[in-house]
Chains A and B, each alone.
Chain A
Amino acid sequence: MSQLAAVESPRWVRIGLIPLLQLVLALAVSSLVVLMIGEDPIRAFKIMIQGAISTEFGGLSNTLYYTTNFIFTGLAVAVASHAGLFNIGGEGQAYVGGLAVAIVCLALDSTLNVWLIAPLVVVGCAAFGAFWGVIPGYLQAKRGSHIVVTTIMFNFIAMAFMSYALVVWISPLGGNSTDSRYWAADAVLPKWHEMASSFGMNASFSLLNPVLLLALACCVLVWVLIWRTRLGYAIRTVGSNPHAATYAGINANRIIIITMAISGALAGMMAVNEVYAAQGRLILNFTSGFGFMGIAVALMGRNHPFGIVLASLLFGALYQGGTELQFEISSISPQMVLVIQGLVVFFTGALDRLVREPVESLFQRRAIVAANASTGVAK
């Protein structure tokens, strides 16, 4: 059995088969919930899939719009994870990012056009998100307070602060009691269906917009950062062993602070999609769990940008499919998606070993048997 540890199971098993099995388990338990309600789970999933990929009613493009949000928050969790930090604060960091959109747009949307405003919004969101992430990072690095607890607290502080900002500062500038006015049309990125119709194509209404491209660009940048730069190497070293990192001359505290700034910036950029491009105004509690969803996305995507894109597509489809579901089967609430989210987090995160260990040891044993057979060593 000592050979087991030396042999790694194949890559496709570790990053493909095991997450897939965990997803199947989560969906199986979700089906039990649907059965408990007295509906047919097969039919429910069918409706969800159809709703998520139909091009007729903007299903597919709305799936991609949700995907955009999840890529940002998923990347935020993943980057922090590589440094061994669990950033639960994506929700708050994204929420504060929304304030940057409001400040930039309310101040400048009548004077600047979209080409000038969009970059300002992106930088603003990243900066505000980074600010909200860097404080817990600093407190962890310099004062020893635990990042999990601090980021949770910062989510709630963000909620209180943002509702104050909305009610007292932003809504009086036009808009209802808890949201801002709409940004001027010239200052906002066109949505996908608007762009399509200007090219003479016909696409139905959806919230999909070019920020998806920014999200994908961030995936590439994060990949380069983590696996192709000195900083990324330092981040991964701190993540796997902070003591060794310090011994190797890496300033672990500095890396923790920088990582949390990057992580917060990524979460903050979710507001570019949601507040700036999709909704076109700042709404109370616009994050509505998208930040937390990043945890499920990062777990499912194994903290790798490519995996995160796939996981974001999956959850985007679940979200969009879930909203369609309520029109077809009225007894199923769209909150069903949260149940699936919880189960995915449970099976891919907390119960990871339950599936991983038996499956990996199966493949490891097969590899050893194959190796022994080829070299002719007797058992």
Chain B
Amino acid sequence: MDMLDHIFSLLGASIRMATPLIFAAMAGIYSERSGVVDIGLEGKMLFGAFAAAVASFETGNPFLGLLAGIVICVLLSLMHGYASVKIRGDQVISGLAVNFLASGLTVTLGHAWYGQGGLTPALTNSQRFTGITLPGAEWLGAHVPVIGPFYEQVISGHNLLVYAAFAVVALTYRALFSTRFGLHLRATGEEPNAVDSAGISVAWVRYRAVLIAGVLCGFAGAYLSIAQNAAFQREMTSGRGYIALAAVIFGKWHPKGALGACLLFGFLQAMETRMQNVQIPMIGELPSQLFSAIPYIITVVLLAGFIGKAVAPKAIGVPYVKER
């Protein structure tokens, strides 16, 4: 049973690690499926985390914290959307600008307001999203073999945002493939000309896509600062936005695939901390850096077409010029 406990706690940790990636990856899917490259996931998430921590600390209400994170990310999204859709600027550069701005502004404002080098004050449990024990978890864990502990440790005990992340994946799947908006969105990313000639505004579809991406990045950021942790730290996203981008590519711009990739990358992150000082027979200790590099390495390998092939939406990164 000890071995099983080990595995279940590893799986539970994987899910917690995967959650911010899932939100950000779904954000990336909306944006990129509409044809707007989103390198700025990292920056939005970071600023969202900062806003959520500040608002939650000042108001004492984690839901207001979440709201603040969403609002800030939507504003950043609008900035990106304005540059990409209206000005028809370079989307990669615009996304990078968002990232630079976020890493500068969060520390600058945090330092000015709280004077702790960019750190926000620690949050109490009532100011955070804390774990929820699902009904019957303890009883099942104690009385039913295997399935019980699985339910108790892997399914139950997460905070609200973790469950929200999985709901978002289902919603994204439905929205993309079973709604009119989803059809328009996907068509805009492939053949904006066709969308335009059908009388649908390409700009409006893309604006909506980046706005949704903003909302989801707000969730991702809030999760980091007011659910998984209890404060904002400088550069606390530490590349998660880019890992989410890798997950979007790895999942071939599909919600299900991206979910799988996020869970895999979350699992690797959970392994990274657990594999320290663990000797593997014949190999010895695996370097922790290997685990942090794997998501990037396999994405490069996939993109190079060595295992399968990731094909991006056709019109991605190309500003749409309406014909006169």
A residues contacting B by CB (< 8 A) are: 33, 36-38, 86, 88, 139, 143-146, 148-150, 152-154, 156-157, 159-161, 163-164, 168, 292, 295-296, 299, 331-333, 335-343, 345-346, 349-354
Contacts and interface: CB of A to CB of B under 8 A. Distances in A.
B75 interface: no
Interface residues of B, number: 50
Nearest to A152: B242
A161 B117 CA distance: 28
Given A331-B115, A342-B97, A139 B304 contact: yes
B112 A38 contact: yes
Contact of B293 (A146, A157, A332): A157
Contact of B296 (A153, A164, A332, A338): A153
Nearest to B291: A160
Contact of B239 (A156, A163, A164, A352): A156
Interface in B241-291: 242, 245-246, 249, 287, 289-290
B contacts with A: majority SS: helix
B293 A161 contact: yes
A86 B105 CA distance: 25
A64 B96 CA distance: 26
Contact of A149 (B101, B105, B249): B249
Interface stretch (B49-57, B81-89, B131-139, B216-224): B81-89
- Select the residue from B242, B287, B296, B305 with max chain A CB neighbours within 10 A: B296
B181 interface: no
B303 A149 contact: yes
B96 to A, nearest CB: 6
B87 A354 contact: yes
B289 A164 contact: yes
Given A139-B300, A145-B303, A161-B293, 5 more contacts: A88-B96, A148-B37, A160-B289, A342-B100, A354-B87
A349 B97 contact: yes
B89 A345 contact: no
Given A37-B108, A160-B289, A335-B118, A139 B303 contact: yes
B312 interface: yes
A339 B108 contact: yes
A36 B108 CA distance: 11
Nearest to B303: A145
B233 interface: no
A154 B301 CA distance: 12
B123 interface: no
B84 to A, nearest CB: 8
Contact of A160 (B39, B93, B96, B293): B293
B107 interface: yes
B96 A335 contact: no
A299 B93 contact: yes
Closest 5 CB pairs of A and B: A338-B104, A342-B100, A342-B101, A350-B94, A349-B93
B105 to A, nearest CB: 5
